[in-house]
Amino acid sequence: MNYFDGKIAIVTGATTGVGEGIAEELFRRGATVIITGRQFSRARQTAQRIDPTGQYVIPMEADVRDHLSIKALIDNTVEQFGGLHMLVNNAGITGPHGINICDYSIDDWNDVINTNLNGTFFGLKYGIPAIIQSEGGAIVNLSSSNGIVGIPGIAPYTTTKHGVLGLTRSAALEFADKGVRINAVGPGYVNTPHMQTLPAEVREWMASTHPMKRMATREEVAKTVAFLLSDESSFTTGAFYAIDGGYTAQ
């Protein structure tokens, strides 16, 4: 299954969780994967776990809130590896939970917006030209099941994930005839290592919100992302793929 041989990919926010799972899947399928995080030490540890040889999973420090950091990430990738074919704008935070809009702090609002929405915009802004220069490729943006429904208490997160869909669709239309396909995925609750630290009753409630009565695995999200990056979805752009066990069909 090495149909990404010779392809260069970037996955932001890939030191753990869903991003780590996506990076592992792309590596398994033959890609050279640059993984990023705000802390280089954590990115290096993850890269070494996935690829002990250090040849095909490369850690780089990047802060998606800073457009110059993302520009440097893209520029360094192209310079070191000769191009960029795939980009996964995964980095994101949920922010504080259970707080209504009137009580949400400005600082927390800005942090969520800057990370989730601005970070995706910066990835598109600098990643698209690099992919065009590399004779085409694909981008997947991480939205959420909350990208098409509302949830009280996490308005900034929900706002950003709706915004990611708007960015995805606009960018897909702008570059549909330029050899760059841009799609979004919307996971529900995913059974990541962080989820395993939560109390059992919380995890059981999260699972129960999906009609399939379980959370997604990281592998299920990663395989959908890999499909959208591959030529198997060559006529798909501007799409939103829900990976939510039926949550948004209710």
CA distance 90 to 73: 15
CA distance 187 to 184: 10
Q: Provide the token pair at 51.
A: 């690829």
The answer to whether 46 touches 35, Cβ cutoff 8 Å, is yes
CA distance 234 to 109: 37
Of 126, 157, 189, 247, which is the active-site residue? 157
Q: What angle do helix axes 67-81 and 119-133 make, rounded to 10 degrees?
A: 30
**Strand, coil or helix: 89:** strand
Give the residues across from 241 on adjacent strands: 185
- Which ranges of the chain would DSSP assign to H, the alpha helix? 17-28, 40-50, 67-81, 106-112, 119-133, 155-174, 200-208, 218-229
User: If you ran DSSP here, which 8-state letter would residue 138 be given?
Assistant: E
- The alpha carbon dihedral of 3, 57, 69, 219 has a sign of positive
Whether residue 157 lies in the annotated active site: yes
Q: Which residue has the tokens 């209710």?
A: 250
CA distance 127 to 84: 8
Q: Which residues are the active-site residues?
A: 157
